[in-house]
Amino acid sequence: MNLAICDDEAIMRRSLAERVKTIHPDMEIYVFSSAGELLKNEISFDIYLLDIEMEGISGMELAKLLRGRPHPFPPIIIFITGFAEHMADAFDVQAYHYLLKPLDHRKFQEVLNGAIAEASGQRSQLDDYLMIKSDNIMRKLAYDDIIYIESSNKQAIFHTTESKIKIYAPMNELEETLSGRFFRCHRGYLVNLAHVLSYEPGSISVTGGDNLLLSRLKYQDFVQAFMSYARSGGIVRV
């Protein structure tokens, strides 16, 4: 599980990182001094600890931008600020909690533990489903319903058993999220191994009748990935 801290005060960043490590030693912590710095990072974090009053992009605006990014599941946002007047605005971005500086360690621990529990619950749902955002609507998409994903003009097109769904998401991020179930058979395609009907050097046939390009350089890796998937109990149609 990972967590991002964004605060323009170096002392506060260090303090928060130390508090989190004390409460949850295994947490992967990433620290950012500005909203712009965080937005340059393409990692989807489980939990965000955000200051509100920052130069440039405020924490509230940052939260809105994060909500618009594709995430495997809705990010958990906790505001940590010295200004109580922004509390009402926090509801508009569906913040998990709003903590005032100076922090009460017991309250911080309670809120962080609750956020970790919620993030763990969301992750468990990913065993069978993927959360995607399309047309400003969060959709719960079953892995088994996704045949393949196609890259097109900075969009990812999900070819499902029912329809096509377009979202803005990097293929590299999707590849990492779907590792084990899907294989990047070509620069433009992620194929669901459960929907592979047949394959040969250069081509993969999938349910629904489409044929996907299989890079010759990736052929051996694909065969190994498919066999590993089959040995682990995955659905095989070949």
Indicate the SS3 state at residue 226: helix
Per-residue model confidence (pLDDT) at position 124: 66
Note the pLDDT tens digit of each residue in 112-134.
999 999 888 777 655 678 888 88
* pLDDT at 159 exceeding the cut of 80: yes
CATH numbers and ranges of domains, the chain: 2-125 (3.40.50.2300), 135-231 (2.40.50.1020)
Decide which of 83 and 31 is more confident: 31
Calculate helix-pair angle for 105-125, 10-23, nearest 10 degrees.
Answer: 70
Phi, psi of 32 (to 5 degrees): -130, 140
Per-residue model confidence (pLDDT) at position 221: 93
Decide which of 72 and 145 is more confident: 145
Per-residue model confidence (pLDDT) at position 231: 73
Q: How far apart are CA 232 and CA 226, in angstroms?
A: 10
The predicted model scores a pTM of 0.57
Q: What percent of the chain has pLDDT over 70?
A: 94
- CA 59 to chain centroid, in Å, comes to 20
What average pLDDT score do residues 137-163 get?
Answer: 91
Per-residue model confidence (pLDDT) at position 69: 79
Q: How far is CA 93 from CA 66, 76, 90, 227, 237, in A?
A: 9, 10, 6, 44, 44
Burial pattern 135-147, b for ≥16 Cβ within 10 A else e, equals eeeeeebeeeebb
Highest mean pLDDT among 14-23, 42-51, 132-141: 14-23
Per-residue confidence band for 34, with pLDDT thresholds at 50, 70 and 90 = very high
What average pLDDT score do residues 4-31 get?
Answer: 96
